């Protein structure tokens, strides 16, 4: 390990110095910051649980002892399990704030993005339940910046609760000023719209039957003006045709100013526009079409609206799908309210770090390279590449 790599490891460890030690002082042999940094490194290299982290650490003991304070060698699996079971998830996540902000600004500058898009969506960790102890599967809500390849925050839904209560907590956890927030229909709530506007951000919220009267009014408004090709309203359209999964798909985006007589218009903070997306595609030799409606605090600007709607699906394709297929998150049997949530967060951090590396290899290959090549591991961890 070079002097620069040792310095980088110690710099990463400093992020966790403010964490209150959760373990009993009796027989506490391994520094908390070292335990956390080893866990991050091992997950980048493919570890999926405390046992795998400990085995990776044992294989890399000489390497780790040159870079981290480990007076008694590398920890056993029980140490990783205990630490990640005791750390409060929100306090643990808060330690990553400065690190993620640095990554966010660097990614925005590299991609020349002025207004970032943050998608909020939930994911169920299907095998994380423990029926014998009455523990249901973990369902968490996270913020994903698909254009940046970054997960910015995560909140677990409380038992017998849902995303509606978790989203406000998540919005308080993440700095959203200046961003455009996209949320599925379940999160289309007046209080959430108000919170976004008060944080000096904008929203694009999917509108479905859970707001039946409003949904019908927007649908009638769009239909009425569609019949005369939007001649009487300042509407903008954008049409995109592309080949996806071997089939051609056409999406027609239409963005319109919100009508003054829209029911409950004043109850939605900052509401300035409504949008509709018509998607036409062929499946099994048959033509299909679906229509989706949106509420937005954005002024009419159809390309911005289209970008927001399109990028929202990045949380499914670029985040959730990768976590299931590459990190095998859906198969994880890590149980316990805190440890499963902390592991879910570390998986998202690892995915974010891997996506920042400029290599064109797949995420799966990058993880393998992290396990094989210590220099590549440091490149991913620090963002410093040759």
- What's the pLDDT tens digit per position in 183-210? 999 999 999 999 999 999 999 999 998 8
Q: Of 319, 272, 2, 356, which is closest to residue 153 (Cα–Cα)?
A: 319
CA 308-342-330 angle, to 5 degrees, is: 70
> Is 139 a member of any domain?
no
Whether the model clears a pTM of 0.85, i.e. scores above it, the answer is yes
pLDDT at position 245: 66
pLDDT at 214 over 90: yes
End of a domain among 247, 273, 300? 300
Considering the chain, what is the average pLDDT of its residues?
Answer: 91
Sequence-separated (6 or more) residues with CB below 8 Å from residue 1 = 9, 63, 66, 67, 374
pLDDT, mean of residues 210-221: 93
pLDDT, mean of residues 302-331: 91
Residue with tokens 């300035």: 272
Q: Domain range spanning residue 270?
A: 205-300
Q: Which of 119-128, 223-232, 271-280, 324-333 has the lowest mean pLDDT?
A: 119-128
Q: Identify whether residues 355 and 288 lie together within a single domain.
A: no
> Is 371 a member of any domain?
yes
Tell me the two tokens of residue 23.
């373990």
CATH number at residue 218: 3.10.450
Higher pLDDT, 344 or 1: 344
> Is 240 a member of any domain?
yes
pLDDT, mean of residues 68-94: 95
pLDDT at 131 over 80: no
> Is 287 a member of any domain?
yes
End of a domain among 300, 323, 344? 300
pLDDT at 130 over 70: no
> Is 215 a member of any domain?
yes
> Is 250 a member of any domain?
yes
Q: What is each CA distance from 65 to 12, 61, 138, 369, in whole angstroms? A: 15, 6, 35, 21
Domains of the chain: total: 2
> Is 145 a member of any domain?
no
Higher pLDDT, 159 or 358: 358
pLDDT, mean of residues 165-188: 94
Q: Identify whether residues 292 and 214 lie together within a single domain.
A: yes
pLDDT at position 161: 61
> Is 124 a member of any domain?
no
Q: Which of 27-36, 67-76, 125-134, 311-320 has the lowest mean pLDDT?
A: 125-134
Q: Identify whether residues 295 and 343 lie together within a single domain.
A: no
């Amino acid at each position: 390990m070079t002097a620069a790599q040792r310095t980088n490891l110690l710099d990463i460890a400093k992020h966790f110095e403010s964490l209150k030690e959760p373990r009993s002082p009796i027989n506490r042999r391994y520094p908390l910051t070292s335990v956390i940094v080893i866990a991050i490194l091992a997950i980048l290299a493919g570890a999926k649980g405390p046992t795998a982290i400990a085995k990776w650490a044992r294989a890399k003991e000489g390497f780790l002892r040159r870079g981290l304070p480990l007076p008694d060698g590398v920890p056993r699996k029980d140490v990783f399990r205990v630490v990640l079971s005791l750390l409060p998830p929100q306090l643990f996540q808060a330690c990553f704030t400065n690190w993620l902000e640095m990554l966010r600004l660097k990614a925005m500058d590299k991609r020349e993005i002025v207004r970032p898009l943050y998608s909020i969506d939930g994911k169920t960790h299907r095998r994380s339940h423990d029926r014998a102890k009455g523990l249901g599967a973990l369902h968490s809500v996270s913020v994903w910046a698909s254009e940046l390849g970054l997960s910015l925050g995560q909140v677990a839904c409380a038992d017998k609760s849902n995303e509606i209560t978790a989203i406000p907590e998540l919005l308080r956890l993440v700095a959203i000023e200046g961003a455009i927030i996209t949320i599925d229909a379940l999160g289309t709530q007046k209080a959430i719209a108000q919170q976004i506007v008060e944080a000096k951000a904008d929203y694009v919220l999917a509108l479905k039957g859970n707001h039946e009267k409003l949904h019908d009014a927007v649908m009638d408004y769009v239909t009425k003006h569609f019949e005369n090709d939007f001649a009487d309203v300042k509407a903008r359209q954008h049409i995109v045709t592309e080949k996806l999964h071997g089939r051609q798909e056409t999406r027609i985006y239409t963005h319109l100013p919100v009508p003054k007589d829209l029911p409950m218009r004043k109850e939605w903070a900052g509401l300035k526009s409504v949008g509709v997306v018509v998607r036409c595609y062929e499946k099994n030799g048959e033509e299909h079409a679906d229509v989706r409606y949106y509420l937005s605090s954005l002024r009419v600007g159809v390309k911005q609206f289209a970008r927001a709607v399109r990028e929202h699906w990045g949380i499914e394709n670029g985040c959730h799908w990768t976590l299931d297929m590459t990190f095998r998150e859906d198969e994880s049997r890590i149980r316990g309210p805190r440890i499963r949530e902390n592991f879910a967060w570390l998986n998202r951090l690892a995915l974010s770090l891997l996506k920042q590396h400029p290599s064109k290899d797949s995420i799966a290959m990058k993880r393998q390279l992290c396990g094989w090549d210590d220099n590549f591991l440091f490149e991913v961890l620090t963002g410093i590449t040759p």
